[in-house]
Amino acid sequence: MLLSDSAAKAILGVLLALLVLTPVCAQNIDELKQRAGNGDTAAMVSLGLKYWKGSAEIKQDYAEALKWTRLAAEKGDADAMNGLGMMYVEGKGVPQDYAEAAKWFRRAADKGETNAMVSLSTLYWQGAGVPHNDEEAKKWLRLATTKDNDFAMWELGITYQQAGIHKHGRDAAQDYVEALKWFRLAANKGNTRAMNDLGQMYESGWGVRQDLVEAAKWFRLAADNGDAFDMGKLGWMYEAGDGVPKSDAEAAKWYKLAAEKSDPSASMDIARMYREGKGVPQDYAEAMKWYRLAADKGYSDAMICVADMYRAGQGVARDDAQAVQWYMRAIEKLDQQAAFRLGLMYLKGDGVHQDDAEAYFWLSLAAFNNPFEKYAQARDQTKARLAPSRVAEVDKRVRNWIDAHHDPQSCGGGLPGPCEQPTVTTPAH
């Protein structure tokens, strides 16, 4: 069965978090191999997991991981059955096969393996390897919750939360109440995702009276568990004074903690704080460092900030050529603000040679399907400076650029980039 990229990512995101194989105590790899070779099922499971992950003591080898995990699964080990299902989902060491994955998840689930129950539920939600069936998905989730699986509790909460988001009126309120119940049960068992979702529901007033203090409490608990998203969220709340005393210093502290865990959004925030001198001493070099980290992760807003700092000579020597390159990188990400800024550079001859035609090209891209009137105004004013024949040449160039970047799944609005259906995304444990 072929799935969209978003559906496949949704499955992998959930199932990778559930891949739990029980390791066996062993002094070294040789001992583990000997025990596995002698038919010790627990050793087979542990050896398969070690080959799957790879380490300094054993080279990653998906074929070997598959061999040992399958041997343990065929001997009836539920953990191995669950792991084998995951291997078929991910398609490493074996061709991707959701139907085969579902078979092994079901065998493990029938033995009471709760993570396999959640995995099987995910396949039913997505219709991957099994017919799409919401009721069957819920059945397996509920069964896992009866065995105290906090991930299943969280997943069940997500199903009710999403149902509430897509409904209106009394039905939505009822779904939110159920979502809150399951999130709270999971959060009280230490599930970081559930803590985050509880915080979001109190922040938004979904199913409860809006309570920013309560929201901050749950975000802090998730942050204390090491979740970068919630660290950044606390930063926003301290900067705004929402649910906590307003404090730029506290905001900067949490932004930096999140950024140090490679959260690109938090990298943007701490960079801004250093650039503006909010909560920390103003430090352009430090700001540039964090902007670069976010830009290198593909954030077009960060690319624009890097370009702006090159133009201003903040934290680096002024370099207009570098600024142009960073604007270009952002434009390749279909960022129209970058196209607008580059167009103005050419219009004014600021850091580049003055060129009305080049300015018109970039401003046309900036204004394409864009609701901001200033973009269209700048484009039209520049167009008026060109001869009709030159306008026709540039318009053709604009059409060619848009055609080259066209995606059939584009949602419309702005430059024609890809548009995937939204999936439930939450911060990882």
Q: Does the pLDDT at position 338 exceed 50?
A: yes
- The answer for residues whose C-beta is within 8 angstroms of residue 399's C-beta and 6 or more apart is none
Q: Cβ distance 321 to 353 under 8 Å?
A: no
Average pLDDT on 10-23 reads 49
How does DSSP classify residue 313? T
What pLDDT is attached to residue 281? 98
Average pLDDT for 262-289: 97
AA letter at 316: V
What are the structure tokens assigned to 31, written together? Answer: 């001992």
Please report the pLDDT score of residue 422 as a whole number. 26
Express each pLDDT in 170-217 by its tens digit: 565 678 999 999 999 999 999 999 999 999 999 999 989 999 999 999
How much is the pLDDT for 167?
59
pLDDT at 415: 67
Residue of 12, 7, 1, 2 whose CA lies nearest to 87: 12
For the chain, the straight-line distance linking the first and the last C-alpha, in angstroms and rounded, comes to: 29
pLDDT tens, position by position, 73-108 = 999 999 999 999 999 999 988 999 999 999 999 999
pLDDT at 163: 79
pLDDT, one tens digit per residue, over 383-418 is: 999 999 999 999 999 999 999 986 655 444 566 644
pLDDT for res 207: 87
Give the integer Cα–Cα distance in Å for 42 and 84.
Answer: 14
- The more confident residue out of 427 and 282 is 282
**Both tokens assigned to 244:** 């906590």
Share of the chain above pLDDT 70, in %: 86
Q: Quick check: 323 pLDDT over 70?
A: yes
Q: What's the chain's average pLDDT?
A: 88
Specify the pLDDT at position 28: 80
**In which residue are the tokens 């078979």 written?**
103
Give yes or no for a contact between 234 and 254, defined as CB atoms under 8 angstroms apart: yes
Tell which residue, 160, 222, 156, has the closest CA to residue 187: 222
Average pLDDT on 154-178 reads 76
Domains of the chain are 1-145 (1.25.40.10), 148-213 (no CATH), 289-404 (1.25.40.10)
* pLDDT surpasses 80 at 41: yes
- Mean pLDDT computed over 38-50: 93
What is the pLDDT at residue 333? 94
DSSP for residue 4: -
Report whether 51 contacts 58 (CB < 8 A): yes
Six token digits for residue 304: 């624009």
- The token duo for 196 is 């985050």
Q: What secondary structure does DSSP assign to 391-413, as a single string?
A: HHHHHHHHHHHHHHT--TT--SS
Q: How many CA atoms lie within 13 A of 396 on its CB side?
A: 5
pLDDT at 230: 97
pTM: 0.78
Asked if the model's pLDDT at residue 420 lies above 90, the reply is no
Q: Which residue has the higher pLDDT, 334 or 23?
A: 334
Say what the pLDDT of residue 204 is: 93
The Cα 126–Cα 151 span in angstroms is: 18
Per-residue confidence (pLDDT) for residue 55, from 0 to 100? 87
**Paired tokens of 357:** 């035609």
Query: What pLDDT does 291 receive?
Result: 98
Q: Which long-range contacts (CB under 8 A, 24 or more apart) does 161-168 make?
A: 161/197, 161/201, 161/206, 162/424, 164/206, 164/207, 165/206
**For range 270-299, the mean pLDDT:** 97
CA distances from residue 348 to 135, 305, 360, 362 in whole angstroms, order as listed: 62, 20, 12, 13
Task: Report pLDDT for 76.
Answer: 95
The backbone region for 279, taken as left when phi is positive above 0, alpha when psi lies in -120 to 50, beta otherwise, is: left
Q: Which H or E element spans position 374?
A: helix 373-383
Q: What pLDDT, on a 0 to 100 scale, did the predictor assign at position 408?
A: 52
